[in-house]
Amino acid sequence: MVDDGETPVVFDLGTGALANLRRHADYDRLAAIVISHMHADHFIDLIPLRYALRYGPRRRRGKLPLHLPPGGLAMLRRLVSAFADEGGEFLSDVYDLHEYDPSVPLAIDGATLRFAHTEHYIPAFAVRWQRGDVSVTYSADTAPDPRVVALARGSDVFVCEATLRHGETEPGMRGHCSAADAARMARDGGVRRLVLTHYGEESTARDLDDAAREHFRGDVVVADDHRAFELGS
């Protein structure tokens, strides 16, 4: 989540994310949710959030803008149809539904979002949030990709996945980074701070930090639940 103090924007909402989110922001003040791609670990908590928005004690004044990747709405509706007779209304009664065009910048309450395709197993999109001279780029899921580097160039913060352990390789098509891969992309993009995320329990914070610092001389942060920091600091 990027929170400028007025209009928090959430990037992806995977398993367990809603419970963590509630500790930092009321869902009735979220400006928007943006989903990078339609793998369940990046969107599945949209379902419990729907129930919270529909039946919770605190009601929003309007629907929550939900920006999905191309084709995401049809996939989400198919999932919902397995347990909700309401069909599309299950979603549209609380969400203001959109599919973004990754070739077109998206404006959200004074911030501009730009997208780039990533190298992943299904269509996925990195996103850069910018407001004034402050910028945050989120890699989504990706193997090392020059398109993501170009999008992240000069960012204050680059939040990049580090799924693969040191020395681990993927058979066949690549779709993920290691901490070293993330650090090389951060270096090539000239970002100020690298935040490593989307790593498994087998990876320790020290191992991730050490691997990244071999390739990137900027600030390295290993993300964990509830960690926050000031942009520009």
How buried is residue 90: exposed, middle or buried, by Cβ count under 10 Å (0-12/13-18/19+)? buried
Q: What is the pLDDT of residues 132-143, one digit of tens each?
A: 999 999 999 999
- Which pLDDT does position 87 carry in this prediction? 53
Q: Specify whether the CB–CB gap between 186 and 214 falls below 8 A.
A: no
Does residue 5 surpass a pLDDT of 90? no
Q: Specify whether the CB–CB gap between 97 and 113 falls below 8 A.
A: no
- Predicted TM-score (pTM) of the model is 0.95
Q: What is the pLDDT of residues 153-184, one digit of tens each?
A: 999 999 999 999 877 677 778 999 999 999 99
Helix axis angle, 205-213 relative to 179-189, nearest 10°? 40
- Strands 125-131, 134-138: parallel, antiparallel or unpaired by DSSP? antiparallel
Distances (CA, A) of 22 to 27, 29, 30, 92, 212: 7, 11, 11, 22, 30
Give the pair of three-digit tokens for residue 17.
């994310």
- Which pLDDT does position 148 carry in this prediction? 99
- Which pLDDT does position 233 carry in this prediction? 56
Helix axis angle, 72-80 relative to 46-55, nearest 10°? 70
Distances (CA, A) of 233 to 13, 94, 156, 188: 26, 36, 9, 21
Mean pLDDT (the chain, rounded): 93
Q: What is the pLDDT of residues 102-153, one digit of tens each?
A: 999 999 989 999 999 999 999 999 999 999 999 999 999 999 999 999 999 9
Q: What is the pLDDT of residues 194-230, one digit of tens each?
A: 999 999 888 899 999 999 999 999 999 999 988 888 8
Residue 84 backbone dihedrals phi, psi, to 5 degrees: -130, 115
